[in-house]
Structure 1
Amino acid sequence: MISGKKIYYVPGLISALLIPVLFWYLGNRKLNEPIPNVMDMGLPAKLNDKNYNYSFESLRNWNYQKIIVQPNSAKNNSKFHVSKLKELQKRNEKETGIEFILDNNNSYGDFASILNDFHIAKQETYGLDLDKTGHLFATVNYQDPNAKDIEYDCLLCNDTIYNEYKPTFFDNTQFFIMQLPKETFYLIFGFLIFLNISMFNIKERFLN
């Protein structure tokens, strides 16, 4: 006959209350961590007679529209910068561009904001004049409207085309687990310890 003895599942209750709190606390800390970003700028080779035409010196005397970037104002004027860049691209005039004038009073945020404006406007050609002015230049990648498309031979003839790879459920699960922060594995390990302790206590109570 089964007795009416009550079983107090204390360890399980503690884990049920504690684990969600730990997930919430550590999860928020992970999301609030600053994400390091890297700005990649290519440094030119030392200027000489051989690479003169591949440096900014050959573009220095182009017709540039000058835009003075006031300190800590580039982000607020982002829409204006993007509109000017798109106008430049639309005109498609040879040897033209925009010169964003920066000085020592401008911040890193101003510099990064203008580079972001280049990305938004899909400005493909631009450069930083490190030698003399320190200004950012957006140049026109002139497209000849009268140019004719060059006809090429068949590029895919006699090639083998394979079906696109589609990841399986196992692949997606494995990728998801690899993206989890290490704190998650600590929580899972702690939960398993609490679970083992709880099952051991239940077994002892039944035996007694």
Structure 2
Amino acid sequence: MKKIYYFPGLISAVVIPLLFWYYGNQKFEEINISLMDIGLPAKLSKDKSNLTSTFEPLRNWDYKKIKIEPGKGKENSNIYISEVKNLQKRNKKNTGIEFILDKNNTYGDFASLLNDMAIAQQETYAYDLEKTGHFFATVNYIDPNIEEFKYECFLCHDVIYVNEVYKLNLFDKIQQFLISLPKEAFYIMFGFLFLVNISMLSIKERFQMQPIFRLSSI
């Protein structure tokens, strides 16, 4: 019996998954949209019953005003981060920074400010969408006169024994391995299995087309 080497199928099984990965990854980057969570203060109700959950109690604080030049939010990012860190160091009650935004500013300017808050580890800030449209960084005042609460540690210097150690079985190891793979690896595996399936079908059709027995005339 002759061996059948299906070279076109083997070449396709290697090359096409790589093409899937290359072009598929480019398309994924095109349609991949990054989202940012933005917390907005509640709108003040007519009866002012929700006053404490709005920006109104903080509106008349002593704010240092900084104008955000349109399209230059990211370019001046280091300046804004430095200003926020100085605000934290001063630790003065009822103070903050008012970043002035107008209709000429871009979404990139606003997103850059949010990123600056994260870099400066500024926990309290607000976007006044209701009235001014400005971005406020408020001081998180810490009273230096408050003494740290001391308590007795009941578990200090204790020794905790673990009687049983959970061992990963084969299924857990496979699951951890698959989770750690990048998304591109799944493209390659899917393309490879898909083309192997097509190759096997092509080989099967060739076997069906060729006669198994030959009748020879005597």
Query: What TM-score comes out, normalization by structure 1 length?
Result: 0.76
Q: How does 1:105-124 map to 2 (within 5 A)?
A: 105-124=104-123
1:110 Cα deviation from its structure 2 partner: 1.2
The structure 1 residue matched to 2:177, chosen from 157, 173, 180, is: 173
- Quickly say closer, same or farther: Cα 1:75–1:172, change in 2 above 3 A: same
Opposite residue 170 of structure 1, the aligned amino acid is I
Q: 2:42, 2:55 within 8 Å by CA — same for their partners in 1?
A: no
> What percent identity do the matched residue pairs reach?
36
Question: What residue in structure 1 maps to residue 89 of structure 2?
Answer: 90
Opposite residue 187 of structure 1, the aligned amino acid is G
Partner Cα separation in structure 1 for residue 167 and residue 90 of structure 2 = 44
- Quickly say closer, same or farther: Cα 1:55–1:182, change in 2 above 3 A: same
The structure 2 residue matched to 1:13, chosen from 11, 14, 39, is: 11
Tell me how large the CA RMSD over aligned residues is.
Answer: 3.8
- Tell me the secondary structure at the aligned position of residue 137 of structure 2: strand
- Quickly say closer, same or farther: Cα 1:166–1:81, change in 2 above 3 A: farther
Q: 2:16, 2:191 within 8 Å by CA — same for their partners in 1?
A: no
Q: 1:12, 1:198 within 8 Å by CA — same for their partners in 2?
A: no
- Quickly say closer, same or farther: Cα 1:145–1:200, change in 2 above 3 A: same
1:119 Cα deviation from its structure 2 partner: 0.9
Query: What TM-score comes out, normalization by structure 2 length?
Result: 0.73
Partner Cα separation in structure 2 for residue 180 and residue 151 of structure 1 = 52
- Tell me the secondary structure at the aligned position of residue 40 of structure 1: coil
Opposite residue 191 of structure 2, the aligned amino acid is L
- Quickly say closer, same or farther: Cα 1:146–1:41, change in 2 above 3 A: same
Partner Cα separation in structure 1 for residue 42 and residue 73 of structure 2 = 26
Query: Unaligned 5+ residue runs, structure 1?
Result: none
1:42 Cα deviation from its structure 2 partner: 3.2
Partner Cα separation in structure 2 for residue 6 and residue 141 of structure 1 = 75
Deviation track 1:4-36 (CA, whole Å, cap 9, x = no partner) reads x99563332343333333333223333443323
Question: What residue in structure 2 maps to residue 61 of structure 1?
Answer: 60
Deviates more, 1:87-96 or 1:162-171: 162-171
- Quickly say closer, same or farther: Cα 1:8–1:120, change in 2 above 3 A: closer
Q: How does 1:152-191 map to 2 (within 5 A)?
A: 152=151, 168-176=172-180, 186-191=190-195
- Quickly say closer, same or farther: Cα 1:131–1:165, change in 2 above 3 A: farther
Opposite residue 173 of structure 1, the aligned amino acid is F
1:153 Cα deviation from its structure 2 partner: 6.3
Opposite residue 110 of structure 1, the aligned amino acid is D
- Tell me the secondary structure at the aligned position of residue 109 of structure 2: helix
Opposite residue 41 of structure 1, the aligned amino acid is G
